[in-house]
Amino acid sequence: MAVSVGDIVEVKYNSGRYIGEVLEDRGERFLVKVHAVTKHPMQGDLHHPGETEGVLFQERKALAHYEKMNVVKSAVKGYDGELPDYRESLQKAIADIKEQLSKKDTAFNQQSLKQVEDLEQNTYTKSYYK
């Protein structure tokens, strides 16, 4: 299925997944506006996954509702389901990543879980859950 401007798509972007609308075709990339989160981005150093010592352990927020991303076309595919509500999709994505991180007790999972919970309480609750 060819993707074009105006289509609703599923996008992999910076270790997260989103549903959005294609706003522009920019040659090798699409400009996509976020409408929902299907997978919360992983925490930590993406170049050294699973490690906590001697790496920059980054906090990664999910993209905001209506935030725009410039995505390589290979990371974009058509989406034909019902468009989820942004807040509900973010809450589900957070619940999913917390459940995944809670399954195995490692230093990486503990630190990631702490960051996700901090984002949930201090960023998402104030900004997106209103």
Rounded CA-CA distance 98/116 in Å is 7
Please give the class, per CATH, of domain 8-127.
Answer: mainly beta
Percent over 90 (pLDDT), the chain: 68
Would you give the distance in Å from CA 124 to the centre of its chain?
13
Which of the residue ranges 38-47, 51-60, 86-95, 110-119 would you say has the lowest mean pLDDT?
Answer: 51-60
pLDDT at 7: 97
Q: Burial of 4 by CB count in 10 Å (0-12 exposed, 13-18 middle, 19+ buried)? A: exposed
Rounded CA-CA distance 75/108 in Å is 27
Identify the band that residue 21 occupies on the pLDDT scale cut at 50, 70 and 90: very high
Rounded CA-CA distance 76/19 in Å is 10
pLDDT tens column, 44-81: 776 666 667 665 677 889 999 999 999 999 999 999 99
Task: Give the residue with greater pLDDT, 82 vs 53.
Answer: 82
Angle at 81 between CA 79 and CA 83, to 5 degrees: 95
pLDDT at 63: 95
